[in-house]
Amino acid sequence: MVHVIPSMRIPTHTPRIEPSTVRKSDDAGSLTIGATGSSTPPVSTGGTTSGSATDAAADFRALFTSRSNPPVPSVPEPAQKSTAAPTAESLFGPNPWMQNPGGTAPNGVTYGYNPYYFATAQTAAKVAQVVGGTVLQANAITPYGPFQQNQPNFLVQLPNGRQINAGLFASFYDHGYTQDFVNKLVAAEINDPA
């Protein structure tokens, strides 16, 4: 058997709730809540707080209204310098890399290489000018063995004797990196002791 407390029963019928208005009914601070457009008499909630009259509706509305703070003056954003790096074409011309670089296998089958490894002579000259080196030609991908390159690689020999591939150097500008990032890549390429 289950004992049910009558005051805890959930009603099965919910009365229709009409939009209500809240208004102060007397000088004692009691509130009257009534349905708009209904013929039912208003209901008084009564009560005062700490002996002083308060407007509960105003207090309730104050919870949901913003306080009037002085406006914060807007400070314009400082002008941003463009940090986008120039493109490979803007630095090295319309064709920084050789078209269709490839090689030949011992059985005569031809294959292609990634063009980034094959800078044009003009690109290599510009890279040498930027880094202070001299241009060299070499078969850097297949220097020995039965596989042969159809085009040579243009390398730049740095003042410290290290050689870098001019095509790979030019590719730093072909990925949409920021100038700061390109500068880091260039510095790493030039200063790498390996």
Angular region, 15: left φ>0, alpha ψ -120 to 50, beta rest: beta
How far is the C-alpha of 33 from the C-alpha of 40, rounded, in Å?
11
* 139 in Cβ contact with 131 (< 8 Å): no
pLDDT class of 133 with cuts at 50, 70, 90:
very high
pLDDT at residue 46 tops 70? no
Tens digits of per-residue pLDDT, 66-115? 666 666 666 666 666 556 678 999 999 999 999 999 999 999 999 999 99
Distance of CA 184 to the CA centre of its chain: 21
Distance of CA 120 to the CA centre of its chain: 36
User: CB neighbours of 177 closer than 8 A, spacing ≥ 6?
Assistant: 85, 185
- Residue listed under structure tokens 């000088």: 27
pLDDT at residue 58 tops 80? no
Structural tokens at position 9: 């029963």
* 55 in Cβ contact with 62 (< 8 Å): no
Beta bridge partners of 165: 155
Tens digits of per-residue pLDDT, 150-173? 999 999 999 989 999 999 999 999
pLDDT score at 167: 96
How far is the C-alpha of 123 from the C-alpha of 94, rounded, in Å?
10
Structural tokens at position 23: 């208004």
pTM here?
A: 0.56
How far is the C-alpha of 19 from the C-alpha of 40, rounded, in Å?
13
pLDDT at residue 48 tops 50? no
